[in-house]
Amino acid sequence: MNIDEQNQLFLARLLGEVYRIQKHRGVPCAVSDGHIFGLLHGFEHVVEEELDTIGFVPKESFEYFVDILTAIENDASKLESFKGYYDIEKELEKVNISRDMALKILNYLNASKEYQQVIKKMDSTDSPMEFRSFKQHKEDL
Protein backbone atom coordinates (compact mmCIF):
# COMPACT_ATOMS: atom_id res chain seq x y z
CA MET A 1 0.00 0.00 0.00
CA ASN A 2 1.47 3.36 -1.03
CA ILE A 3 1.39 6.56 1.02
CA ASP A 4 -1.59 8.02 -0.91
CA GLU A 5 -3.67 4.93 -0.18
CA GLN A 6 -2.65 5.04 3.47
CA ASN A 7 -3.65 8.71 3.67
CA GLN A 8 -7.01 7.96 2.04
CA LEU A 9 -7.69 5.17 4.49
CA PHE A 10 -6.69 7.32 7.44
CA LEU A 11 -8.96 10.16 6.32
CA ALA A 12 -11.79 7.73 5.57
CA ARG A 13 -11.47 6.32 9.09
CA LEU A 14 -11.62 9.84 10.57
CA LEU A 15 -14.68 10.66 8.52
CA GLY A 16 -16.28 7.37 9.54
CA GLU A 17 -15.68 8.29 13.18
CA VAL A 18 -17.26 11.71 12.67
CA TYR A 19 -20.33 10.11 11.07
CA ARG A 20 -20.48 7.50 13.84
CA ILE A 21 -20.37 10.19 16.54
CA GLN A 22 -23.04 12.21 14.74
CA LYS A 23 -25.37 9.21 14.61
CA HIS A 24 -24.82 8.33 18.28
CA ARG A 25 -25.51 11.95 19.30
CA GLY A 26 -28.69 12.13 17.23
CA VAL A 27 -27.26 14.66 14.79
CA PRO A 28 -28.74 14.19 11.31
CA CYS A 29 -26.37 12.10 9.23
CA ALA A 30 -27.21 11.16 5.64
CA VAL A 31 -25.15 7.96 5.51
CA SER A 32 -26.09 4.43 6.49
CA ASP A 33 -24.52 2.34 9.22
CA GLY A 34 -23.05 0.18 6.45
CA HIS A 35 -21.38 3.21 4.89
CA ILE A 36 -19.89 4.17 8.24
CA PHE A 37 -18.64 0.62 8.77
CA GLY A 38 -17.11 0.66 5.29
CA LEU A 39 -15.23 3.88 6.02
CA LEU A 40 -14.04 2.67 9.41
CA HIS A 41 -12.78 -0.60 8.02
CA GLY A 42 -11.29 0.51 4.72
CA PHE A 43 -13.73 -0.88 2.14
CA GLU A 44 -12.20 0.53 -1.02
CA HIS A 45 -15.49 1.05 -2.89
CA VAL A 46 -16.96 2.95 0.08
CA VAL A 47 -13.86 5.15 0.41
CA GLU A 48 -13.94 5.91 -3.34
CA GLU A 49 -17.66 6.65 -3.18
CA GLU A 50 -17.07 9.11 -0.35
CA LEU A 51 -14.23 10.83 -2.22
CA ASP A 52 -16.43 11.16 -5.30
CA THR A 53 -19.10 12.97 -3.30
CA ILE A 54 -16.60 15.48 -1.94
CA GLY A 55 -15.40 16.50 -5.37
CA PHE A 56 -12.27 18.45 -6.15
CA VAL A 57 -11.76 21.95 -7.49
CA PRO A 58 -8.23 22.33 -8.87
CA LYS A 59 -6.45 25.56 -8.00
CA GLU A 60 -5.97 26.39 -11.69
CA SER A 61 -9.70 26.04 -12.40
CA PHE A 62 -10.59 28.20 -9.42
CA GLU A 63 -8.12 30.90 -10.43
CA TYR A 64 -9.28 30.87 -14.06
CA PHE A 65 -12.91 31.26 -12.99
CA VAL A 66 -12.05 34.05 -10.55
CA ASP A 67 -10.12 35.85 -13.31
CA ILE A 68 -13.27 35.82 -15.45
CA LEU A 69 -15.40 37.16 -12.61
CA THR A 70 -12.79 39.82 -11.77
CA ALA A 71 -12.77 41.04 -15.36
CA ILE A 72 -16.56 41.39 -15.25
CA GLU A 73 -16.82 42.96 -11.81
CA ASN A 74 -14.01 45.47 -12.34
CA ASP A 75 -15.34 46.78 -15.66
CA ALA A 76 -18.58 48.73 -15.35
CA SER A 77 -19.57 48.13 -18.98
CA LYS A 78 -18.93 44.37 -18.72
CA LEU A 79 -20.86 44.22 -15.47
CA GLU A 80 -23.74 46.14 -17.02
CA SER A 81 -23.91 43.82 -20.04
CA PHE A 82 -23.45 40.60 -18.03
CA LYS A 83 -26.79 38.77 -18.06
CA GLY A 84 -25.98 35.48 -16.36
CA TYR A 85 -24.06 32.22 -16.37
CA TYR A 86 -24.75 31.48 -20.04
CA ASP A 87 -22.57 34.49 -20.92
CA ILE A 88 -19.47 32.71 -19.57
CA GLU A 89 -20.40 29.04 -19.89
CA LYS A 90 -18.62 28.38 -23.21
CA GLU A 91 -15.43 30.02 -21.98
CA LEU A 92 -15.51 27.82 -18.86
CA GLU A 93 -16.20 24.67 -20.86
CA LYS A 94 -13.07 25.33 -22.97
CA VAL A 95 -10.95 24.75 -19.84
CA ASN A 96 -13.07 21.86 -18.51
CA ILE A 97 -14.91 23.78 -15.82
CA SER A 98 -18.25 22.00 -15.65
CA ARG A 99 -21.49 23.49 -14.39
CA ASP A 100 -21.13 21.47 -11.19
CA MET A 101 -17.65 22.84 -10.56
CA ALA A 102 -18.74 26.38 -11.44
CA LEU A 103 -21.63 26.07 -9.01
CA LYS A 104 -19.27 24.92 -6.23
CA ILE A 105 -16.95 27.84 -6.91
CA LEU A 106 -19.81 30.34 -6.93
CA ASN A 107 -21.19 28.94 -3.68
CA TYR A 108 -17.73 29.24 -2.13
CA LEU A 109 -17.34 32.83 -3.34
CA ASN A 110 -20.81 33.72 -2.14
CA ALA A 111 -20.11 32.23 1.31
CA SER A 112 -16.89 34.30 1.32
CA LYS A 113 -18.91 37.41 0.36
CA GLU A 114 -16.87 37.89 -2.81
CA TYR A 115 -18.05 38.89 -6.30
CA GLN A 116 -21.48 39.75 -4.95
CA GLN A 117 -22.39 42.00 -7.88
CA VAL A 118 -21.73 39.27 -10.46
CA ILE A 119 -23.35 36.56 -8.33
CA LYS A 120 -26.47 38.71 -7.92
CA LYS A 121 -26.72 39.02 -11.71
CA MET A 122 -26.72 35.20 -11.97
CA ASP A 123 -30.29 35.32 -10.67
CA SER A 124 -31.76 35.66 -14.15
CA THR A 125 -33.26 33.67 -16.98
CA ASP A 126 -29.78 33.78 -18.53
CA SER A 127 -28.58 31.26 -15.94
CA PRO A 128 -29.60 27.68 -15.23
CA MET A 129 -32.07 27.37 -12.36
CA GLU A 130 -29.45 26.13 -9.87
CA PHE A 131 -27.40 29.31 -10.45
CA ARG A 132 -30.23 31.64 -9.54
CA SER A 133 -30.01 31.33 -5.78
CA PHE A 134 -26.92 30.98 -3.64
CA LYS A 135 -28.44 30.62 -0.20
CA GLN A 136 -26.08 28.80 2.10
CA HIS A 137 -27.42 25.82 3.98
CA LYS A 138 -26.24 25.08 7.50
CA GLU A 139 -25.03 21.64 6.48
CA ASP A 140 -22.77 23.19 3.79
CA LEU A 141 -20.80 25.27 6.28
Domain ranges (residues) in the chain = 3-54, 59-140
Residue 126, pLDDT above cutoff 70: yes
pLDDT digits (tens, 9 = 90+) for 62-96: 999 999 999 999 999 999 999 999 999 999 999 99
pLDDT digits (tens, 9 = 90+) for 27-52: 988 899 999 999 999 999 999 888 87
Amino acid 42: pLDDT = 92
* Distance of alpha carbon 21 from alpha carbon 45, whole angstroms: 22
Residue 117, pLDDT above cutoff 90: yes
For helices 3-24 and 33-40, the axis angle rounded to 10 degrees is: 140
